[in-house]
């Protein structure tokens, strides 16, 4: 039962990440590019 709950939590997190994915993805990409020295 705990395993199922954990999976549902992970799925919920993934869904919220998906919804915010555009904003977060852009931010992450910008940070990575900056860290790696790309424009």
Ramachandran area for residue 38 (φ above 0: left; ψ -120 to 50: alpha; else beta): beta
pLDDT at 38: 66
Three-state secondary structure string covering the chain: CHHHHHHHHHHHHHHHHHHCHHHHHHHHHHHHHHHHCCC
Per-residue pLDDT tens listing for the chain (39 residues):
788 888 888 777 766 655 666 666 777 777 778 878 865
pLDDT at 16: 64
Q: Taking the model in full, what pTM does it have?
A: 0.33
pLDDT at 2: 85
Compute, in degrees rounded to 10, the torsion defined by CA atoms 5, 7, 21, 16.
Answer: -10
Q: How many residues does the chain have?
A: 39
């Amino acid at each position: 039962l705990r395993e199922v709950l954990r999976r549902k939590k992970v799925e919920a997190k993934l869904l919220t990440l998906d919804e915010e994915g555009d904003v977060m993805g852009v931010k992450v990409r910008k940070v990575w590019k900056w860290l790696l020295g790309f424009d």
